[in-house]
Structure 1
Amino acid sequence: MIWKAEKNGCYSVRSAYRTCIEDIINNEHLRKPRYWSGIWRLKVPPKVKNLVWRICRDCFPTRVKLRSRGVNCPSGCVRCEDPHEDSYHILFHCPSAVVTWQTANLWHLISPSLNQFDNAPDNIFNLLQKLSAAQIEISVTIMWSIWKARNLKLWQQVTDSNFTILERARHLLEGWRNASRKQVHLNPTTSDSGSSSASQYQCQSQMEKIMCYTPSCSVDLGEALALNHAIQWIHELQLSNVDFEVDSKRVADYFNKGRGDVTEFGSIMDNSLNFCNDYLTNSHVEFIRRQENEVAHTF
């Protein structure tokens, strides 16, 4: 028996769930055509991206949202006496938040958007498209810090000053950037040129390598080969602390969870796993969406 929802023919709960969600259950109400890629392209800590995504998906646990889900709690703002604590109020309307934006010298960039939209998701999507990369990165990190201040006030009765909120945001963003610079990120990707396939690796945007092999192969097999060659190249460079970023979810999932695929793909991936276990024990393989893969788009 072959399970058609997986390329290796083996049943998995993940693929069964995906089949149910996409083919059986009507989930059109969950699909929101917004500028989602703008969120995932942000060069900010993952927890900041997650917070922004939750706000824009309207699943942010404000008091108003909790009450709409049947939770018995007050509806008023934790930081002021406004009776309606939703994400728009917390981030843009609460007097404490407004003073924070003014202190950060960002209020003049944010306030025009508030005249156009009366909810947090639309304002955030508008800012993602209007502000520069540096401005939106510090802005969304400040949003995270404002939410942190709200939770500290609610659960620990701690009242943060505006200086503390801004310093926490700055420290988080700078610390994450410094940590990212200390670690090598290598991004293997492939392209098909008809009679042959090409692999390109980019290391910290400073070194890159291109390899071509014949004949042309499937996308997943090409991604597996690209990762395999990239791993060996990193070993030749005598590097050890490396994050490999791939835009093939099948490759990333197999590397982190899988074993036992008897196809050519599985053989190549097993070879990569064994090589990393022997020589690159502190390295990882992570999945990134193709629209975020700058190497693939410049190839």
Structure 2
Amino acid sequence: MVAKQAWNIVQNPNSLVAKLMKARYFPHSSLFEASLGYNPSFAWRNMWHARQILSLGCRWRIGSRDNIQVMHDPWLRGSADRWVPSPQPAGDVAKRILETPLVSSVREDKVVWEEERNECYSVKSGYKLVMRYIIGSDKYHVAGNWNGIWKAQAPHKAQHLLWRLCRGCLPTRCQLLERRVECNLNCPVYDVATEDELHIFFRCAVARDSWCAAGLSSVLHNAAYQQSNAIDRIFAVCSNESGDNVHKLQSNSVSGTTEEDLVRWEKPALGWVKCNVDVAFLSGSGRTSVGVCFRDNSGQFMAGMTQWQQTVISPVEGEAWALLLAMKEARHRGLDRVQFESDSQVLIEAIHMKRRGNSDFLSIVHDILSIMSSFLNFEVKFVRRHANSVAHNLPRAANSWSSFHRFEIIPLCIEHLIVNEMQRNGDTRIPLGIPDPRWVGVWGYTFYPRIELGWVWGNPIFIDLGLGMAKSTLAPPRCHAYQKLLTATTRIILKLPFVNYIRT
């Protein structure tokens, strides 16, 4: 609780209490560098000790970079050491430095608390940090399926009773004797046995009658529940119950119906544009890629964009960054009635609730809200992954292009997805999205007849008769031999007489 007061001083340096403390105890330094001083007050003495908790979980959020001392302040991300150890850091530290994102939405340097999602200190997270780092909670940790207890289909008071049993908090006679309470160890009901947790819950005659009356006699007779102590037996029962619940859900599911059948992309209303956004984290390359796709009210492809940067950020930060770039792209193209869809529920909830905080994520959300306040017809909506498949695939192919790339025609990596979604929405037109004055139609895009040639590596190869060019939904080509196959196929097909007839 005292650490909370120290946190308020750090976050609100212009408050009266912060100015008073700074003038009295650390006029030429920060709270983290202050000394105890001569004849300190009781409040300052406690704050001075509590700041050790803050120093374990705080780091500097990089903004203007005017107030951070690179070699003295904690600013590296992650649970490992947040300080740069030397001017010539080791390889792993150098990698962390290079992967540190510089978020344009963050404009000032600020101390943040890494133990909370909103990066604001709370007494609960401070207590957990103390248990983990100062007291050394490994000494008090009991291994086991603790989540199984809290996920069990049982009343809260029953879950709490099981937790107390596994933590040794029940006042059995064995536990009382360990705490130097003089008592008889024998069970008052079954006088021969010693009263411990295993006896009370599983071996006592009264307990066994209760299990049978509840229709749970399998707990007593099942070979999987014959552990030698009560804790392991409780964990086994909870784990088995969780598995049974999953099996029941699977057996009760509608046969032949998949999530892809139930959840699909929907066209926007007349006069609106729909923009799907997503982010991809390419393992091994250290890149974060964004994909954006605009479609009109008929489902036709309008424009797209990909962008990647050589940095590693959290998933929610990546989703927020993708949505911010999509809104800036819509503003650049002069679109004013756009419905943005993302598969990040955390992001959409943060926007709808207008959350504030110190984190980089909420700083990006603040910029998103600022743009939405200027464009009243910008809407955001959460959708499932299957309804966001086009934007999901686009950033994964971003490495094939420059760090920032705009599309005016449909990339081959998403063309088949757009065709499928148009057909599901009742549109049988097949868009190619290639402007050509000879073939421009009502929708402003080119539509050519096709001849399907076959399949290579699970991707259809077809020929567009209007262009006289073989294409495939595979992008980019996997090898030089694959490209040669397309070229040779084109030359053969174009020599066929019926092709020339169709083209003329």
Question: What's the TM-score once normalised by structure 2's chain length?
Answer: 0.29
Structure of greater Rg: 2
Question: What's the TM-score once normalised by structure 1's chain length?
Answer: 0.44
**Greater relative CO, 1 or 2 (CA 8 Å, sep 6+):** 1
Structure having the higher helix fraction is 1
